[in-house]
Structure 1
Amino acid sequence: MKKIILFSLSILSFTAVGWSQSLEYQKQKAEKIVKGSVFTKIIKRELPATIVYEDDDVIAFTPLRLQAPVHLLIVPKKEIHTINDVTDEDALVLGKLFLVAKKLAKEKGISKTGYRLSININEDAGQSVFHLHMHLLGGKKLGPMLTQEK
């Protein structure tokens, strides 16, 4: 029985390590969080941006590197680092992100042809700005989100 428990614990330890963030990513993430979000700097007007929507809770703007003909970032003004940091008190602002996305998709003429909403969380998803944000992408056929395995 002792051997089974030790084996189980070693498997759990191995898989937990396999699913954790790399040390380099953890270091970069911590440094960026301490430094402060570039999006917070846009919200505070410390950095310029082409703002397409703003209210008390949410701001939306055009990113520097467009990935589609229509590409907007929809950001809560409250700095939430990742979805993993969301609390019950954030429920209304998260819902508002989707309502703003719907409004902007309609304004940009892509609500009927289709669009993608994407939120990247941590290393495997490629999150590089640690302030929750939603990408609104459209204006062309976007293809599959991931490479299809055969």
Structure 2
Amino acid sequence: MAGEPQADCLFCKIVAKEVPATVVSESETTLAFRDINPQAPTHVLVIPKAHYADAAALAAAEPQIAGDVLREAGEVAVGEGLGETGYRIVFNTGSGAGQTVFHAHAHVLGGRGLNWPPG
């Protein structure tokens, strides 16, 4: 069922503290932690604690929590010192877009030049 923890989901296991992560911040509805394969000097993932397969499913089912994820991503960026230099927030939706963990998540990237368009 959407929103419920999934036994085979890496991010659900991180939320449940069954898998370790370097937590940057946590709110009632979100968890932010460092990406284990960073693509920039700052690369933090912000996830909803509730399980939704991707950003579109999250936004359709829980627009308030989707907003929480986006707000937390901005707060993480500022907390990481990216407020002045700029940062990117990316939601990959579907395997064709590069999503590899099917639990909605935002990538907060910064600390280097981020050319557009990305690969």
Structure 2 counterparts to residues 105-120 of structure 1, below 5 A: 105-120=77-92
Tell me the alpha carbon deviations over residues 89-143 of structure 1, each in whole angstroms, 9 at most, x when there is no partner: 4111111111111111111111111100001011220111000000000011111
- For structure 1, the 5+ residue unaligned runs are 1-33
Q: Do the aligned partners of residues 142 and 74 (structure 1) sit closer, same or farther apart at CA in structure 2, a change above 3 Å counting?
A: same
Q: For residues 80 and 59 of structure 1, what CA distance do their matches in structure 2 show?
A: 14
State the TM-score, normalized to the length of structure 1. Answer: 0.71
SS of 1:86 mapped into structure 2: helix
Q: Which ranges in structure 2 are unaligned for 5 or more consecutive residues? A: 1-5
What corresponds to 1:132 in structure 2? Answer: 104
> What's 2:48 paired with?
76
SS class of match (2:109)? strand
Q: Which position in structure 2 is the counterpart of 1:29?
A: none
Task: Give the equivalent residue in structure 1 for 2:27.
Answer: 55
- Structure 2 Cα separation of the partners of residues 94 and 60 of structure 1: 14
Question: Partner residue of 2:58?
Answer: 86
Computed over aligned residues only, the root mean square deviation of the Cα atoms, in angstroms, reads: 1.6
Preserved CA contact (<8 Å) 2:40 2:111: yes
Contact kept, 8 Å, 2:55 with 2:66, in 1: the verdict is no
1:141 partner amino acid: G
Q: Which of the two has greater helix per residue?
A: 1
Equivalent residue for 1:45, pick from 17, 40, 62: 17
Q: In structure 1, what is the Cα distance between the partners aligned to 2:27 and 2:58?
A: 20
Identity, % of aligned pairs?
A: 34
Q: When the two structures are superposed, what TM-score results if normalisation uses the length of structure 2?
A: 0.88
Q: 1:95 to 1:122 in 2, by over 3 A?
A: same
Which residue in 2 is equivalent to 1:98?
70
* Runs of 4+ in structure 1 over 6 Å off: none
Aligned residue pairs, count: 114
Deviation at 1:35, TM superposition (A): 5.4
